[in-house]
Structure 1
Amino acid sequence: MDDDLLLKVLVVGDVAVGKTSIIQRYTNDSFRKDYKTTIGVEFALKPIEVDDKCVNIQLWDIAGQDRFIGLLRNFYRNASAAIVVYDITSPKTLQNAVKWKADIDKKVRLPDGGIIPCILLGNKSDLRETEGTTFIDPEYAMELAKKSGFIGCMETSAKTGANVGRACKGLVKKVITSMKNSQPAQTVVKDSNITLKGRSQKKADSSCCN
């Protein structure tokens, strides 16, 4: 349909934080323990309905290995939003999430020149039931997210599905809201992964998925 939206959403973060698992949980409602490390880039499509509009979310799974990062930045082009993932049991992955966000801010811009909205997801929340494991304080992660310009921060579990759908749909709603506020009426955005017709058409705070 002409009124459908296609949104390109980057999913980035360090190796083994669960990027692929989050994508599979969201798109197929499935989980496996034996996902192989992503080599290069893979993507999946998820159609949803938001505000009576069909939105096709194209989730780009970007490999986290250092040797690929320089090459893979080419795939950032025309992204509408990003999900940055860290492992709640690994402080290093949270610190690197801030670096991923800064890199996206430098490499990707919206048609109006603004930075794309990014949400920070702390994956593997199901492990909080595991004794003897050290976890990142969610309030610390949220504060770091605010300082780094993320539009929201939430813990998720690809294994159980907790908050995965809520976070993704909340991000998409913010993108659409931003588009409504920034695009003039009867505008078609071309040469990007956003297609919008017939209507003027982004997670500004930590409660973005409410």
Structure 2
Amino acid sequence: MSFRKPRRDSDVALSNSNHKELLFKILVIGDYGVGKTAIVRRYTEGKFSSNYKITIGADFAIKTLDWDHHTKINLQLWDIAGNERHGYMTRVYYKYAVAAALVFDISRASTFQSVKKWLSDLREKITLPDGSNIPIVLLANKCDIQQVAIPNEQIVRFCKENEIGSWYVTSAKENMNIDEAMHYLVENVLRAKIQDEIRESIKLKDSPESQKKNICCSN
């Protein structure tokens, strides 16, 4: 697989002052066989197949959203192989990511037990510019199997204890809650971006250079 360095949203040129185009890198992580590739394909291509090849290392797909009249968002969804949590390459794959979907198979308890380890690895290796955690959504995938091994109460408790903002029961096969989960992530990425821009604006206003200008102007 060829590895390309993702552009950051700061690398995307604005076509005009009233329209902006952003690029967000979103990770899709979890154990082998939980349906990460199926989720990515369903969301980006609108298709489902039960015959996906095993992901080696990482792969990514693009989804373009016309968020509003002034904003176009290009999402890079990075599908990280299930065995990569034990490898040193995750730090490379995680770089520049601004959000993550953490996936487990709701019919297999062992994949839910692994979620905490994936979460720890993720938070150890990446944060937002202000040091806070990136937005995360937890996906209880393969609900179409009708074999639930993890009760809702346990999932809710896990999210609360680990400060995960939201979770969804999903099915790539039935196209259930995939769009909703990704919409939640994008909303939270945009909120974090706005807050970061506000903080940067405050820093500029409080900078020594700015204070000197204010003194000069007051004279």
| Range into which the TM-score falls when normalised by the shorter chain | 0.7 to 0.9
Q: 1:8 aligns with which of 11, 25, 48?
A: 25
Matched residues in 1 for 2:86 and 2:46: separation? 28
Matched residues in 2 for 1:107 and 1:185: separation? 23
Tell me the residue number matched to 2:187: 173
Matched residues in 2 for 1:97 and 1:29: separation? 26
Structure with the larger helix share: 2
Q: 2:125 aligns with which of 93, 98, 107?
A: 107
Max radius of gyration: which structure?
Answer: 2
Taking structure 1 as reference, are residues 141 and 180 closer, same or farther at Cα in structure 2, changes over 3 Å only?
A: same
Q: How many residues align?
A: 183
Q: CA deviation at 1:34?
A: 0.5
Q: Greater RCO between the two (CA within 8 Å, min separation 6)?
A: 1
Tell me the residue number matched to 1:146: 160
- AA paired with 1:181? Q
Tell me the residue number matched to 2:197: 183
Taking structure 1 as reference, are residues 164 and 77 closer, same or farther at Cα in structure 2, changes over 3 Å only?
A: same
Q: 2:111 aligns with which of 93, 105, 111?
A: 93
Matched residues in 1 for 2:91 and 2:107: separation? 27
Matched residues in 1 for 2:148 and 2:155: separation? 14
Matched residues in 1 for 2:140 and 2:165: separation? 14
Q: CA deviation at 1:65?
A: 1.3
Q: CA deviation at 1:109?
A: 1.3
| TM-score normalised over the length of structure 1 | 0.82
- SS of 2:24's equivalent in the other structure is strand
Taking structure 1 as reference, are residues 79 and 89 closer, same or farther at Cα in structure 2, changes over 3 Å only?
A: same
| TM-score normalised over the length of structure 2 | 0.78
Taking structure 1 as reference, are residues 108 and 185 closer, same or farther at Cα in structure 2, changes over 3 Å only?
A: closer
Does residue 121 of the first structure (1) align with residue 127 of the second (2)?
Answer: no
Structure 1 segments unaligned to the other structure (5+ residues): 188-210
Give 1:69-84 correspondences, 5 Å limit. 69-84=87-102
Report if aligned partners of 2:39, 2:178 keep a CA contact under 8 Å in 1. yes
Matched residues in 2 for 1:54 and 1:93: separation? 35
Matched residues in 1 for 2:73 and 2:34: separation? 27
Matched residues in 2 for 1:174 and 1:160: separation? 25
Post-superposition CA distance 1:104-135 (Å, at most 9, x none): 1110011112111111101001112xxxx342
Cα root mean square deviation, aligned? 1.8
Report if aligned partners of 1:101, 1:118 keep a CA contact under 8 Å in 2. no
Fraction of identical pairs, as percent: 39
Give 1:50-61 correspondences, 5 Å limit. 50-52=67-69, 53-61=71-79
Structure 2 segments unaligned to the other structure (5+ residues): 1-12, 15-19, 202-219
- SS of 1:31's equivalent in the other structure is coil
- SS of 2:198's equivalent in the other structure is coil
Matched residues in 1 for 2:164 and 2:199: separation? 28
Report if aligned partners of 1:63, 1:69 keep a CA contact under 8 Å in 2. no
Give 1:129-140 correspondences, 5 Å limit. 133-140=147-154
Does residue 32 of the first structure (1) align with residue 49 of the second (2)?
Answer: yes
Q: CA deviation at 1:71?
A: 2.0
